[in-house]
A and B are shown apart, each in its own frame.
Chain A
């Protein structure tokens, strides 16, 4: 009974391991592409220009965020990435717009409603534009850098969340296997003891 249980766990574990290995392969190939494209962009760039940390926006805000959920049946957490269109984005952007519109309304009390609305709209769209990390490196970004971004988005949205979710599931199955093995070892020890007792009991009978 316990051995069957352990076998089922191990079978599941091997399937997860297979998935892990194939995701690892996909991540490696995507990252190789990212590095090659960044190298290409650097090679073609003006002298002294390097697409790196010197150009990072010091006030950058994440446009792709994590959402962790747990499945009650298995207990292993599941990871997902929420992109630009998700609800969290909508919740995050209003902060600066409220402040800005307040200060603006103090200065321009008599302004027409239409212009106010326009300003508000401009403020709303501005952070979104600034959020694209490609803009850190100037208005005209080279094609290889765009390709690197597309590969990076794929890695972040599709591969990495799956990889960590599979990892969490594997850790969960490892716990189950160890628990089942302990149980089996205990049962075996108890059976062996019982056998010993029976044998020694039988031996006495023979002697008697």
Chain B
């Protein structure tokens, strides 16, 4: 129990991977954080049509594996689709990953990893 406590007690930030409006909307609530220089690591990634999947994957890796100060990773569902293999194989308790709708892509329960888990539980 103590090991897991050490794992979550420093996780005080939310991270966002999303399109510009999603990130702007969430940052308006005051969750945006840039660490002190020289690192100056941001806790968000704005994804547009030019952003490569490798960059999304790198941000996801950074937020979930490298950084130990993030407790929740919010990601637009349509962007999560681009790195679905990474999202589905991610099983760690912290940080927790939550898929959220975006402006042009409303929430689709079919793609929701939680509801897929529900189906697996009842389908066994």
Contact = CB atoms under 8 A, between A and B. Distances in A.
Interface string B16-34: 0000111111111111111
Contacts, number: 143
A13 B121 contact: yes
Contact of B96 (A51, A168, A177): A168
Interface in B46-98: 46, 71-72, 74, 93-94, 96, 98
**How many of chain B's residues touch chain A, expressed as a range?**
35 or more
A91 B25 CA distance: 26
A174 B96 CA distance: 16
Contact of A38 (B9, B25, B117): B25
B8 A70 contact: yes
A166 B7 CA distance: 20
Interface stretch (A108-116, A118-126, A131-139, A195-203): A131-139
A187 to B, nearest CB: 17
B118 interface: yes
A58 B114 CA distance: 34
B74 A64 contact: no
B30 A68 contact: no
Contact of A152 (B5, B25, B40, B112): B25
A27 B100 contact: yes
Contacts of A43: none
A148 B28 contact: yes
Given A77-B93, A79-B72, A70 B5 contact: yes
Nearest to B96: A164
7 contacts: A31-B25, A31-B101, A62-B43, A88-B12, A152-B28, A153-B29, A178-B121
Interface of A: 13, 17, 20, 24, 27-28, 31-32, 34-35, 38-39, 51-53, 56-68, 70, 72, 77, 79, 84, 88, 131-134, 145, 148-149, 151-153, 155-157, 160, 163-164, 167-168, 170-171, 174, 177-178, 181
Interface of B: 1, 4-5, 8-9, 11-14, 20-34, 40, 43, 46, 71-72, 74, 93-94, 96, 98, 100-103, 106-107, 109, 112, 114, 117-118, 121, 124
